[in-house]
Amino acid sequence: MSDLLTMMWKESKDLLFQRGWKAWILPVFLVGILGVFLPLQAGLQWLELSPIAIFAILWIPFFVIISFIGDAIAGERERHTLETLLASRISDRAILLGKVIVTVGYAWGMALVSLVLGLVLVNLFHGHGNWTFYHPFDLFLEVLVLNLLCCTLGASAGVLISLQSATVRQAQQILGVGTLVLIFAGVLALQALPADFISSLSYSQAMFLFIAVVAVLDVILLGLSLVSFKRSRLIMS
């Protein structure tokens, strides 16, 4: 546990302070979109969690992750800090999980801040004196869980690709193509399902099915990442 906490502290400092004030441009910009612009444009409809709102809540944090997760291992290799990291006494699992947890926490935390900010602004400017929360509440909880799982999916896939990539640019290119393939495969999978099956599902059941699929993908990709992260092979490379 101490190894994991040490690695999380190291990754947090690198993520938030390594590039100075420039590191805050992207999160502030995206929180402005997800927490200010979109809620004020949609008004009270934002709190009803329409499919478009849910897509934005899921996509923006996922985009944040894939925009820099390629740096996780490939970046350490380019900066020649990977050897120092691997020479430490921190375990392989702690190194990998520390990177994944901090990245997921960063993006998911950004989503939470945006949701709270959007809730406050919508009520202040469109609430007419009545305080309204996201509804239905069970759907709001499902969106939070799904958001966390999507962030984990992006981080797990990104670390796995970064392990195999020689440069950050290469990792980011593969992640970009992989994201398009994932979206295209998802659309094909939906089209392949029987129309009667899809129409029989309620909104909540469809969300639960989506959560289950993403959770399975998370387990597979995170497991592959843990298996692939071998100190001896990385040192030789």
Instruction: DSSP for the chain, please give it.
Output: -HHHHHHHHHHHHHHHHTTGGGGGHHHHHHHHIIIIIHHHHHGGGGGGT-HHHHHHHHHHHHHHHHHHGGGTTHHHHHTT-HHHHHHSS--HHHHHHHHHHHHHHHHHHHHHHHHHHHHHHHHHHHSTT-----SSHHHHHHHHHHHHHHHHHHHHHHHHHHHH-SSHHHHHHHHHHHHHHHHHHHHHHHHHS-HHHHHH--HHHHHHHHHHHHHHHHHHHHHHHHHH--HHHHHH-
How large is the average pLDDT for residues 161-169? 84
Choose the weakest-confidence range: 12-26, 73-87, 142-156.
Answer: 12-26
Average pLDDT of the segment spanning 192-214: 80
Averaged pLDDT for residues 170-176: 86
What's the whole-model pTM score?
0.89
Q: Cα separation of 153 and 216, whole Å?
A: 10
Give tens-digit pLDDT for 39-68. Answer: 999 988 999 988 889 989 999 898 888 888
With a cut of 90, say whether residue 145 has pLDDT above it.
Answer: yes
Q: 85-134, pLDDT tens digit by residue?
A: 778 888 888 888 888 999 999 999 999 999 999 999 999 988 777 888 99
The rounded distance, in Å, linking the Cα atoms of 153 and 173 is: 17
Is 70 exceeded by the pLDDT of residue 139? yes
Residue 19, pLDDT score: 62
> What's the rounded Cα separation, in Å, for the pair 151 and 196?
31
Judged against a pLDDT cut of 70, whether residue 220 lies above it is answered with: yes
Q: What is the pLDDT of residue 72?
A: 81
